[in-house]
Each structure stands twice: as structure tokens, then as C-alpha cells.
Amino acid sequence: MDNQYGAIVLCGGKSTRMGSAKALLPFGPELMLQRVVRIVGEVVPTENIVVVAAVGQELPELPSGVAITYDENPGRGPLEGLAAGLLALPENIEAAYATSCDVPLLVPGFVERLFALLHKIDNTEHDIAVAKDQKFHHPLAAVYRTCVLPNVEALLAADRLRPFFLFEECDTREVPVEELHTVDSHLRSLMNCNTPEEYEAALRVAGL
């Protein structure tokens, strides 16, 4: 477990399609947010995890050491949450895995692989490693070096809210999802629960 790695878990969305708060959905003996925090806690130290919530949002009990911060300007997408999370990370963190709270089938090896893919053969590093499915990037299945924070803040100030703009500006390693099958054969780490039907499907896959 590398003390210079952290994780950012975004859970402040409105959950409009789900109809109820995704962070509080039961998943076995845990609630959804608790499960995702536990899984990323298998890869990075708990004290290096930041949960980004909406102001006034109800949250379940989380392990001591997990930091909670809030979207400064809610409703502006993942870049806003990413900025809040990067700002709240401990100062020693060099890179963080960013995820939503609605991926209960996240595989620790998937997270580990993306951290590993930051490194280049010449011992330098990419700024970002992001999973990509054909033309579609998964900005919340990605690792970001903390040095990208000024880029994120500049994009937010310019109202350029698409994560793709950040990938354009930074040294980004786009990781085809086919390369991730070796650590997550069914790519369940990318199975978001945005609707009741997707939630029920995830429960079935987990045998719950």
C-alpha cells in the first residue's frame, strides 16, 4: 500500500434516475458508499481517502480517517468534484484514483492497475491514466496526479466542464478497456448503478 496514493469518491450527485440517494442504498451488510470506500481502502490507506458530498447530504458512517469535503459549486459535473477532492487530499499525496460511489462491483486490482499505468518506461510519469471504451472516457475510473489541480481549476473558471478538456491539456494515458480484462475480466468496475434496474442487476451479480 503506497502512502503517496489516495482516492477520491464522489457521492454528491442528485441521483435523479435512481430516485433515491445512491450513497445510502443497501448492498449486502453495507451501504453503497461504505462498500466503495472499503474497496478503495484495500488499495490506499484509509486516511488518504476523500469523500466529496453535497452540502447537507446525509452520509453513512465511514471509517475514521476518511476525510469529507463538499462541492463548492454543485451540479457542475465530475471536474468540480475532482477539484474539491484534490484540494482536500493530504499534502504528501502524489496521485489519486477518482471514482463515483455507485460502483459496488469495483475490483481492487483494477484500481491498482491504473496506478501502475501512470508510470512510463523511461521512469517519468503520466499526469492521468483513464479507462477508455472506444471513444468514451471514464473520468471516474481514472488516476490523477495532484499536479493537475491548476488545470482543473482553470477549466472550471472558463466553464469548460467536460473532463475531455483536461485529458487534452495533460499528459494522459488512455487505457483501452480491453487491457483491463486481465484484472477485471467482466469490467465490473465500470458498472455504474444509475437506475433501479442497474442496481438490481449489480445485486444479482454479487449474489445478494
The average pLDDT across 179-201 equals 95
pLDDT band at 48 (very low <50, low <70, confident <90, very high): very high
pLDDT band at 1 (very low <50, low <70, confident <90, very high): low
Pick the more confident residue, 29 or 124. 29
Which helix (H) or strand (E) covers residue 204, if one does?
helix 196-205
Rounded Cα–Cα distance for residues 177 and 190 (Å): 9
Strands (E) across the chain are located at: 5-10, 26-27, 30-31, 49-53, 67-70, 95-100, 128-133, 136-145, 172-176
pLDDT band at 123 (very low <50, low <70, confident <90, very high): confident
Cell 442528485 identifies what position? Answer: 14
12 is in an annotated binding site: yes
22 is in an annotated binding site: yes
Q: How many CB atoms lie within 10 A of CB 110?
A: 23
Alpha-carbon torsion 17, 140, 11, 160, what sign?
Answer: negative
Q: Is the pLDDT of residue 4 over 70?
A: yes
pTM of the model: 0.96
The average pLDDT across 130-150 equals 96
Strand partners, 11: none
184 is in an annotated binding site: no
Q: Is the pLDDT of residue 33 over 70?
A: yes
* Cβ partners under 8 Å of residue 116, min gap 6: none
Does residue 51 contact residue 59 with C-beta atoms inside 8 Å? yes
Label residue 203 exposed, middle or buried (CB < 10 Å: 0-12, 13-18, 19+). middle
Pick the more confident residue, 67 or 75. 67
| Three-state secondary-structure class, residue 155 | helix
Q: Which amino acid is at 71?
A: D
The mean of the pLDDT values for the chain is 94
Distances (CA, A) of 196 to 21, 153, 155, 191: 11, 34, 33, 13
127 is in an annotated binding site: no
pLDDT digits (tens, 9 = 90+) for 145-154: 999 999 999 9
pLDDT of residue 17: 77
Rounded Cα–Cα distance for residues 201 and 208 (Å): 10
Distance of CA 6 to the CA centre of its chain: 10
Share of the chain above pLDDT 90, in %: 85
Most confident of 6-15, 73-82, 193-202: 193-202
Cell 466553464 identifies what position? Answer: 159
Rounded Cα–Cα distance for residues 152 and 26 (Å): 33
In order of their start, the domains of the chain are 5-205 (3.90.550.10)
Rounded Cα–Cα distance for residues 9 and 4 (Å): 17
The average pLDDT across 21-25 equals 92
101 is in an annotated binding site: no
75 is in an annotated binding site: no
Q: Is the pLDDT of residue 124 over 80?
A: yes
Least confident of 5-14, 132-141, 173-182: 5-14
